Structures are given as C-alpha cells and as structure tokens.
Amino acid sequence: MAASRGKFSNKFGFIAAAAGSAVGLGNIWKFPFEVGKGGGSAFLIVYLLFSFVLCYPILVSEIAIGRRAQKSAALAFKPLGHPNWSIIGILGVFCAVVILSFYNVVSGWVLGYFVEMLLGNFEIGHHFEEYVTDIAEVGGYALAFLIGTAYIVSQGITKGIEKFSKILMPVLIIIILVLTIYALTLDRAMDGVKFYLVPDFSKLNLNVIYRALGQSFFSLSLGLGALMTYGSYLSRKENIVSAGALITIADVGIAFLAGLMIFPFVFSQGIEPEGGAGLIFMTMPGIFQSMGPSLGVIIGALFFLLLAFAALTSTISLMELPVAYMVDKHKIKRKYAVWYSAAVIFLLGIPSMLGNGYSEFFTNFITYVGADKPVNFMDFVTDVASNTLLPFGGLMVSIFSIYVWNRHKLFRELSHGHPKFPRTFLAKYISFSLQYISPPVLGAIFIITILEIFFGVQIF
C-alpha cells in the first residue's frame, strides 16, 4: 500500500530531497576536477548542453515512471505492464551500490578534513596524497559516514531524508556564494575564470564528451532510478515538470558556482588544475589559512561540514535504492535491509580506499587498451558505473518512456499536477529530446566509448 511506503509531505519536501540527492560531492568535489582534467571551458559547455537538452527530459520521465508505478526503481516497470524491463531497474540498484562504495570513501575524506580544519591543521592541503594512504584513519571516517547514512535511511522517508535536506541545502549555497566572492578578489583569480569560462574548443575530444556526459548523469543522480524511487513517494497533486526544472537548475547552478569558486583559488595558489581527485582537498585548506587562524578555522570547518552534509543527502538516496528494492521485493524489514546493504557497501569500498597510493595493485589497477597510463580502482569504477552505465540507463529510460510505455501515458502522468502540460512548449521539448536526441546521441556515445576506451578500437 502506498501509505505504508512513506510519502513526502509536499512538493517542497520532494524537491529538497531530490535536489539534496543531486547536489553533493559530484558538484563540489568531482565537477571541478573533471573540468580541470577536461581542459576547462570545453568540458563546461558540453556538460551544460547535456544537462539541459538531454538529461532534464530523462529526469522528468524517471520521476513520472516512479510516481505512476508507486514502486521503487527495480520494481517500477512491472506495474506499468512491462516486467521484462525490470532488469534496467536492477542494473540501477547495482550501480547505486557500486557508486556508493567509492562515494562513501570520499565522504570519509571530507569528514577527516573537517576535523583537520577544526584543529587548524591547514598544512593538510599539502599532504593530501599521504593522508589518503592512512588507511586506519580514512577507513574509520568512511565507516562513521556509512553508519550515519544507514541510520537516517533506517528512519524512513519523511522523518529522515526530508528533514535533513530542507535545512542544509540553503546554508551550503550561502557559504559557496561567500567563498566565490572572496575567490574573485584574489591575485590571479582572473586566470582561473578565463580557464573556466573562455571557450577553447581545441580541447574538445571524445574523452571530454564521454566524461561530461557521465558527469551530467552522475550529478543529476540520473540513470539508476534514484529519482524514480523518490518519485514513487511523490503525491499526484504535484507538478513534476516544474519540480524537475528546479532540481536541474539547482544542481547545474551549484556545480557552476563551485567551478567559479575553485578555479580562482587553484590559480591564485599556483596549483595545477589537472590535480584530479585531490583538487579541492589540496586547494581549500590554503585558502582558509589565508583568512587568518580564527576565521580560517571557522570557515574551513564549516565548508567541509556542509560538504559532508551535501554528501550525506546523496548517500542517503543511493542507499535508498538497494534498501527499497529489498523492502518492496523481498519484504525484508527496512532496518535489516539497511544494515545488510551498509555491510556490503563498506566491503566493496575497500579497494577504492586502498587504490589511492596504499596498494600498488589497486592504485595502478588497469591500463585501457591504447592508453599510456593505468587508472586506479576508483577511476575504473567511475568509468564503468557512472560514465558508462548511467548514460546507458538514461538511454533505456528514454526508449521506455516514449516507445514502450508510450508518450501518451507519460504525458498523462505529467498532466497530474499540471493539466495544461500537453499543450506547452516544454511538452514538445521533452518529447523531441526523448525521441530524437537521447536515443541516437546516447546510443552512439555508448557504442563508441565501449569500443574506443575499453577495447582500443580507433573510430575517430
């Protein structure tokens, strides 16, 4: 029964939770270093295009499918009359578990840096690479973070997820805004802004396109059914189209702002923008130090604390996928499903923990055919789960909603909460994108990247 599954109390609760899922480490930790690796503005432009043109319509469809079915991702396809498609939902649950396994490790780093800032240890910025090889410390924080996530998920939807998201998101936005303004006043700040905003299309290549696409999906929590699951807790009174637009704008807006904050900092400190996964950890402590000891401690600790909360509202939504699956499908008690998932996720995260310098095997985990350098375990998992499988999930959602479930039923669902929807411009936009843009673009990128990146077949 719908009532026993829990519900968001209103549209604001849903938007806060869904935007809380979308806004996380993906925006503030991952987006800047992907921009750095992808050559700056070239990456940014492709990312923006993908987010609005391709991802927004898929996001709306995911929510609509979840709400119509009143079931979490893996079980949503059956009540719509297409049980064979459940495999896509199950693939999503798998992706969520894999993504959470490394996401939780990074969340542990954030928690650790929060404590270091409280202690006034700004030097930690220069020692990121050593820090992440301290397995006892990093493992301890990751475990603490996972227990926090599991506890909130075990409390259920409205009590746990909604409450946290509503309060913390606005505070995070304010602190980023303040830091951005500060960043822009520093020496060499404009070099950073130029790197970030002045287009340089010579940097554009297949790899940049592939990573920007993966980033759009990852950042919007798309392609694995997280929003489908949240949609299943949404009332039919609410307008999915406008809620989806708000979620997309908030998510992209915060990532954009994070870039505008980080790159002036990066350039003002003479750090390489290609710094990779350590970028914010290497950059931010030096900035807090420059604010003086007391202000630096306050702002530094606040920054990492809020980042930890942003991560928490995302880890909650990731964990909700396997948990909802077990509760809905196997009728396992929520509490047991939560702790069982947490144990599996922690174990799966160990290679990611070890693969940042501690273990040679996981650090130089795999060299793709034709590549000159190996990638570590975390990068490999990101490539498989987030850069490849999420867009694949998105491709399947667009095909499903337009051709299998079919456009009329999608539109009928979207009309609940927005009766005029079928006659609006957005209806045409969404249906055009789902029909003519997503399948060819996502299909082509999927095939080309599998062949080129994983099998070394040279197509371009």
Beta strands in 79-193 (DSSP E): none
217 vs 265 by CB, closer to ligand PFF = 217
- Percent composition of the chain: helix, strand, coil (DSSP 3-state, to 5): 80, 0, 20
- Count Cβ atoms below 10 Å from residue 293 Cβ, excluding itself: 11
| Interacting positions 361-420 with ligand PFF (CB under 6 A) | none
Cα separation, 262 vs 32, whole angstroms = 7
Considering beta carbons, is residue 223 or 264 the nearer one to ligand PFF? 223
Nearer to ligand PFF, 189 or 306 (CB): 306
Nearer to ligand PFF, 296 or 349 (CB): 349
- 3-class DSSP string for 408-428: HHHHHHHHCCCCCHHHCHHHH
**Interacting stretch for ligand PFF, rule CB under 6 A, among 21-29, 73-81, 127-135, 233-241?**
21-29
State the minimum distance, in angstroms, from the CB of residue 225 to ligand PFF. 8
Token pair of 5 as six digits: 């599954």
* Interface pick for ligand PFF out of 70, 317, 341, 433 (rule CB under 6 A): 317
Binders of ligand PFF among residues 318 to 357 (CB under 6 A) are: 318
Residues 6+ apart with CB under 8 A from 127: none
Kindly tell me which residue out of 14, 21, 55, 288 binds ligand PFF, with binding defined by CB under 6 A: 21
Instruction: Closer to ligand PFF by CB, 102 or 263: give it.
Output: 102
d(CA 62, CA 396): 11
Nearer to ligand PFF, 122 or 303 (CB): 303
Stretch that binds ligand PFF, among 16-24, 193-201, 203-211, 407-415 (CB under 6 A): 16-24
Here the tokens at position 365 are 């985990």
- Tell me which stretch binds ligand PFF (CB under 6 A): 186-194, 268-276, 310-318, 350-358: 310-318
Cβ within 8 Å of residue 158, ≥6 positions away: 6, 7, 8, 9, 13
96 binds ligand PFF (CB under 6 A): yes
Query: What is the x/- site pattern for ligand PFF, positions 164-203, by CB under 6 A?
Result: ----------------------------------------
Distance CA 390, CA 223 (A): 4
Span 261-300, contacts to ligand PFF by CB under 6 A: none
The stretch among 77-85, 182-190, 205-213, 216-224 that binds ligand PFF (CB under 6 A) is 216-224
Q: Does 69 help bind ligand PFF (rule: CB under 6 A)?
A: no
Q: In angstroms, what is the minimal distance from the CB of 424 to ligand PFF?
A: 27
- Closest residue to ligand PFF, judged by C-beta, is 26
CA distance 450 to 218: 18
User: In angstroms, what CA-CA distances link 84 with 68, 90, 410?
Assistant: 17, 11, 19
Using CA atoms, how far residue 452 sits from 387, 446, 456, 458, in Å, is 14, 10, 5, 6
Q: Do 102 and 352 form a contact (C-beta atoms < 8 A)?
A: yes
Pick from 22, 105, 146, 168: which binds ligand PFF (CB under 6 A)?
22
Distance CA 159, CA 164 (A): 9
* DSSP β-bridge partners for residue 375: 366
One of 102, 210, 218, 303 touching ligand PFF (CB under 6 A): 218
27 lies in the binding site for ligand PFF (CB under 6 A) = yes
Size of the site for ligand PFF (CB under 6 A): 16
**The CA-based dihedral angle spanning residues 102, 103, 105, 108, taken in that order and rounded to the nearest 10 degrees:** 180
Q: Is 150 in the site for ligand PFF (CB under 6 A)?
A: no
Give the span between the Cα atoms of 264 and 193, in whole angstroms.
Answer: 6
Phi/psi at 375 (5° precision): -110, 160
Tokens in use for 424?
């609006």
Nearer to ligand PFF (CB atom), residue 107 or residue 269: 107
Closest CB 118 distance from ligand PFF, rounded Å: 24
Please, which residue, 217 or 288, has the CB nearer to ligand PFF?
A: 217
What are residue 366's DSSP bridge partners?
375
Enumerate residues 219-258 that contact ligand PFF by CB under 6 A.
Answer: 219, 221, 224, 226
Residue 121, SS3 per DSSP: coil
Q: Contact with ligand PFF (CB under 6 A): which of 314, 341, 352, 398?
A: 314
Task: Write down the least CB distance from residue 202 to ligand PFF, Å.
Answer: 28
* Residues near ligand PFF, by CB under 6 A: 21-22, 24-27, 96, 99, 218-219, 221, 224, 226, 314, 317-318
